Structure 1
Amino acid sequence: MIDTTVVELSRLQFALTAMYHFLFVPLTLGLSFLVAIMESVYVMTGREVWRRMTFFWGVLFGINFAMGVATGIVMEFQFGMNWAYYSHYVGDIFGAPLAIEGLMAFFLEATFIGLFFFGWNRLSKVKHLMVTWLVALGANFSALWILIANGWMQNPTGAVFNPDTMRMEIVDFAAVILNPVAQAKFVHTVSAGYVTGAVFVMAISAVYLLRGRHRDLARRSMAVAASFGLASALSVVVLGDESGYAATEHQKMKLAAIESMWESEHAPAGFTVFGVPDQDGHVNHYEVKVPFLLGLIATRSLDGELPGILELVDRAAMRIETGLEAYAALERLQADRGDAGARAAFDAHWQDLGHALLLKRYREDIGNATPEQIAAAAFDTVPRVAPLFWSFRAMAAIGFYLIAFFATAFWLATRGRLESKRWFLWAAAASLPLPWIASECGWFVAEYGRQPWSIEGVLPTFYAASGLQLHDILISLVGFVVIYTGLAVVEVFLLLRAIRNGPEALLPGLRPDAPAAVDVALDRAPATA
């Protein structure tokens, strides 16, 4: 039987490392493009203040990038450590985009980030600008392949289960790459990263203006971040709607749980603005709904129906029973691979095999499962509703706040009033943690909402874990917490020191009142630096 404690600790370890890693990813995505924009202005205008901005924000980007790479490598190793059966079962599909991402991150992105820092004295303005844009594009291409892999976990397309090898195998790699869930997740995630970078630049620049330091750099940085952030914040909402539409098509239970919709409603369904989900009673207390809104958003129609949680549980029970037919056919094939009848039965029902595996939580000989056990396994397809319900609403609330924030910033920037509105500068500084909170809530919704599946409808999470001992998990979990806490302290220390000292500390000889000294500082830098 499955050791649920080992599975839950494995989930906790991966969740901690993944969410910690994602503290760095959105800032890398956002800062890379902001730095490229700033250097583009420098090349077009020749004004040294833009060069100073490029180098300063580029250093902060570099610190964050290094931490992101270090934590990302460790996270990927966990697939072999804690999720060995997952790696065996779907490694042929999942490993391909991860391998391509490694090439993007370590050969393209890492190479050009080295040229960005060490090529100031060796490359012309235009060539260095090309390097900076390649760094930004490399970061985004790296994210693309990660999200293709993750999108396949949400919507496993382009692959089939091979009863001879007992593994999932690719039959259409183009379908894996062009997976609609993956594409929607990519554009939504990178847009959220752009918002994070813009808020970061706005907050640090606001602190500088409040203290009367580096005013030229801060004013221009806020102006760039305001326009870039407004476009990105609007994109997050629009592309988030596309991601939700993809969930309507491919992850109906996740959508129903996010909306705490227990019963199916007549089309178009209403949107629950507020409520207190009751998982045991299958009802929402103190519910406040906007009629028709959910149906219009999720189906983009007036007659599209959205099934409720209880209806989806009934569908899951039927798929479990069909999956048992596939499981029985698979057992016959293991005994006689030439059994044509068994192969035909398996080919007809293999898509539901994963639902039958849900019964492994209750008994090993799942072919003898009782109706009560089938009903229990069907209800296991319902994730915990309340955490999803509130996480989604926190993410959405922050998203709409940031649209208003950047709209205000853009309006003030176009009128040259950013520096004079100290209330807005304080609001900008206080808004610094919000995009990270929204991003973490978004990933929680995406991953926790997929439970109980590691691969949606294919492989239950409890079935994907390695057969480790409890002490093995505890040792690695404690080790990760200690090491990652230390890395967090180092990250914050390096960022705060660079921000506190300002650009002149990064470029020796640079004086705030003499921007032209940048050339002197860079020309005097050692050739090996």
Structure 2
Amino acid sequence: MDYLVVELSRLQFALTVLYHFQFVPLTLGLSFMLAAIETVYVVTGKDVYRQMAKFWGKLFLINFALGVATGITMEFEFGTNWSLYSHAVGDIFGAPLAIEGLMAFFMESTFIGLMMFGWNRMSKYGHLTVTYLVALGSNLSALWILIANGFMQHPVGDKFNPDTMRFELANFAQVVFNSKAQAEFVHTTVAGYVSAAMLVMGISAFYLLRQRHRAFALRSFRMAAIFGVTATMAVITLGDASGRTDYLMQEAKVAAMEGIWDNTKPPAASWDIVAWPNQKEMKNDFAIGIPYVLTPLLTHTMNEPVKGLRTIVDENKPKIDRGIDAALALKKYSETQDATDLAAYQVNAKDLGYGLLATEFAPHFDLSNITPENRQQIIDKTAKASIPDVWVEFYAFRVMVALGFFFLFLCAFGAYYSLNCKLESRRWVLRLSMWSIPLPVLATLYGWVTAEAGRQPWTVYEKLPTFISASNHSVGYMIFSLAGFVLLYSSFIAVELYLMFKFARKGPEDDGGDDADMAALGTSGGAGTIPSAAPAAKNWQ
């Protein structure tokens, strides 16, 4: 087994997701924001809201198109670069992906055409219904993808067949209603709403700083800021719920996120703001923390200890020992098809994944070469490798959380000044909003790293190790495909940025507003009074 091929396969898939995931949250958030804007248009009848829906709809369409282009490759990579994974769990993993493609994606893409080109061909209520269906389709796509990912994080509803050496679907309802998948879904989609709010606030701030499209920009900023406050509070709350789910299901991930090496002693356990994790010696070389915060943060109690990574490593050693026996018995059964060998495998079947993990440290990657003399050494090495990279988890999580609270701060101030008609005189809010447009992308990417790096060293948690899951390609093939992929996807990013900048700078098709419209907003060009020469009202259509 060539570890470089495995690492290159991981790198290529990670880059695929990182490229693709720049588009997904914005698509999720803008779809419901468009629905909210158009609802206001239908209720009030004011053409400025129709103009808003059409303009932000263009940016949504650009983002959606590039998201589709970058997402298709990802599904093919399961077969090209992760063929053993696809063979082993394709029955479970493939079902939600197929439903996503057949139902949610086609629903979304079909109604997008009606939403974009049906303004003058449908009634207000008909078009509003279509917009909500687009939003529903977008979020259903995310649901089914995260159901597939939820199985990787917390595998349920499956049964391993020793005759076919595959995990087979045993209970589809358990896969769909997997608590980990549902927690991921609500957290991820609401994070998308924050991304949309920040984009709309940033572009609206750009117009206001240049005194362009003021009636349009003031309304857009106000709706986005209020939407952003609600979404950011929700994403922080749901993030805590998702963390609680991880605490119950993936102890090693949570301990790595918090840099916890030894069992904590409540209630004075310290939550480390910064630290320098030392994975080799299993300790933090340096840490600055706040006492009495960690225990209630993770356990929601004041007296429950949190398990440290040293304890988790020690608890994994018996699992590895039993898993080696299970793997050896399974191999013998595959050769003999003898019921006695099958029974021997079934005794320790639940720990098979840990036995497969030990293959990495067995001589020549063959568990048959394990002897009584080297067995404990192999178990010890495997146990240390059974926890994620603490440095990556610790800081990816903190960057995500810090950005989340920054968004709450910015949206709250933006909403306050907008509702009190002081936004244009608070130029620091406008400038900060404009320069913060890319930050939600970073937050969601660091969130993805936290979730996926924390699952390592498994592709399917405690059942299928990552190093076993990769296809058997040559290093040259992987370098060639990776280089081509980077060039292609970088061109997609360039196209996205060019089109988004082009249409954002151009602004909405119509501009202007009347005295009553500006008076209703209570704004002006910096002095707080309505301009005496307000532009005449125009047809926002």
Q: When the two structures are superposed, what TM-score results if normalisation uses the length of structure 2?
A: 0.92
After TM superposition, the structure 1 stretch with the greater mean CA deviation from structure 2, 165-174 or 263-272, is 263-272
Alpha-carbon contact 1:258-1:388 (below 8 Å) kept: yes
Shift of 1:105: 4.0
Residue pair 1:161, 1:350 contacting (<8 A) in 2 also: no
1:345 Cα offset (Å): 3.4
Q: More deviation in 352-361 or 84-93?
A: 352-361
The amino acid across from 1:75 in the alignment is: M
Which letter maps to 1:482?
Answer: L
Match of 1:473 in 2: 478
Deviates more, 1:488-497 or 1:406-415: 406-415
Distance 1:515 1:175, change over 3 A: farther
For 1:470-509, list aligned pairs within 5 A. 470-504=475-509
Instruction: Find the residue that maps to 2:423 and give its secondary structure.
Output: coil
1:379 pairs, out of 351, 359, 384, with 384
Q: Once the two structures are superposed, what CA deviation does each residue of 1:376-408 show, in whole Å capped at 9, x if it has no partner?
A: 111111222112111111111111111111111
State the Cα distance separating 1:337 from its structure 2 match.
3.1
Letter of the aligned partner of 2:405 in structure 1? Answer: F
Q: Tell me the secondary structure at the aligned position of residue 348 of structure 2.
A: helix
What residue in structure 2 maps to residue 517 of structure 1?
Answer: 539
Alignment-derived partner of residue 448 in structure 1: 453
1:297 offset after TM fit, Å? 2.0
For the residue of structure 2 that corresponds to 1:304, the secondary structure is coil
Q: Any idea what SS the aligned residue of 1:273 has? A: strand
Residues 1:259 and 1:29: Cα distance change in structure 2 (over 3 Å): same
Tell me by how many angstroms 1:494 deviates. 0.7
1:424 matched residue in structure 2: 429
Is the counterpart of residue 44 in structure 1 residue 43 in structure 2? yes
Provide the rounded CA distance (Å) in 1 between the counterparts of 2:68 and 2:442. Answer: 21
**How many residue pairs get matched?**
512
Q: Kindly indicate whether residue 30 of structure 2 is the aligned counterpart of residue 31 of structure 1.
A: yes
CA distance in 2, matches of 1:58, 1:106: 18
8 A Cα contact 1:48 1:515, kept in partner: no
Point out the more displaced range, 412-421 or 89-98.
Answer: 412-421
Distance 1:138 1:514, change over 3 A: farther
CA–CA distance in structure 2, aligned partners of residues 436 and 517 of structure 1: 36
Q: Is the 8 A contact 2:105 2:138 kept in 1?
A: no
2:400 corresponds to: 395
Matched residue, 1:21:
20
Cα distance in 1 for residues equivalent to 2:141 and 2:347:
37
* Structure-2 residue corresponding to 1:293: 293
Match of 2:468 among 463, 466, 483: 463
1:92 aligns with 2:77: no
Show the counterpart of 1:271. 271
How far apart are 1:416 and its partner, in Å?
A: 1.5
Residues 515 and 97 of structure 1, relative CA distance in 2, 3 Å threshold: farther
Cα distance between partner residues in 2 of 1:451 and 1:106: 29
CA distance in structure 2 between the partners assigned to 1:323 and 1:96 by the alignment: 28
424-433 vs 343-352, greater mean Cα deviation: 343-352
Pairwise CA distance, 1:286: 3.1
* Corresponding residue for residue 337 of structure 1: 337
Match of 2:440 among 422, 425, 435: 435
Report SS of the residue matched to 2:26: helix
Question: Residues 343-395 of structure 1, C-alpha deviation per residue, up to 9 Å, x if partnerless?
Answer: 33333322211111112212333144321122111111122211211111111
CA distance in 1 between partners of 2:507 and 2:347 (Å): 65
How far residue 515 of structure 1 moved from its aligned partner, in angstroms, is 6.2
> C-alpha displacement at 1:174, in angstroms?
1.0
Matched with 2:528 is: none
Aligned 1:215-234 pairs, distance under 5 A: 215-234=214-233
* TM superposition shift of 1:288: 2.0
| Alpha-carbon shift at residue 301 of structure 1 (Å) | 2.0
Quote the residue 1:362 is aligned against: 361
Separation in 2 of the partners of 1:489 and 1:365? Answer: 47
Distance 1:481 1:132, change over 3 A: same
For residues 116 and 389 of structure 1, the distance between their equivalents in structure 2, rounded to whole angstroms, comes to: 43
Alpha carbons of 1:113 and 1:353: their partners in 2 closer, same or farther (altered >3 Å)?
same
Paired with 2:338 and 2:286, the residues of 1 have a C-alpha distance of 60
- Could you tell me which amino acid in structure 2 is paired with residue 320 of structure 1? I
Q: 1:52 touches 1:515 (CA, 8 Å); kept in 2?
A: no
Question: Counterpart in 2 of 1:191?
Answer: 190
Aligned identity (percent) is 48
Distance in 2, matches of 1:68 and 1:57, equals 16
- Structure 2 residue runs without a partner (length 5+): 513-534
Residues 108-117 or 292-301, more deviating: 292-301
Give the match's secondary structure for 1:307: coil
Q: Which amino acid aligns with 1:517?
A: N
Q: Secondary structure at the match of 1:405?
A: helix
One-letter code aligned to 2:151: W
Find the aligned partners of 2:2 and 2:280 in 1 and give their Cα distance.
25
Q: Secondary structure at the match of 1:517?
A: coil
Tell me, in whole angstroms, the C-alpha distance in 1 between the residues paired with 2:293 and 2:367. 42
The answer to whether the 8 A contact 1:160-1:168 is kept is yes
Alignment of 1:123-272 (within 5 A): 123-268=122-267, 269-272=269-272
Quote the residue 2:523 is aligned against. Answer: none
Write the distance in 1 (CA, Å) between the matches of 2:359 and 2:407.
45
2:520 maps to which residue? none
Structure 1 residue 518, shift from structure 2 partner = 4.0
Q: Aligned-pair distance for 1:329? A: 2.4
- Give the root-mean-square deviation of aligned CA atoms: 1.4
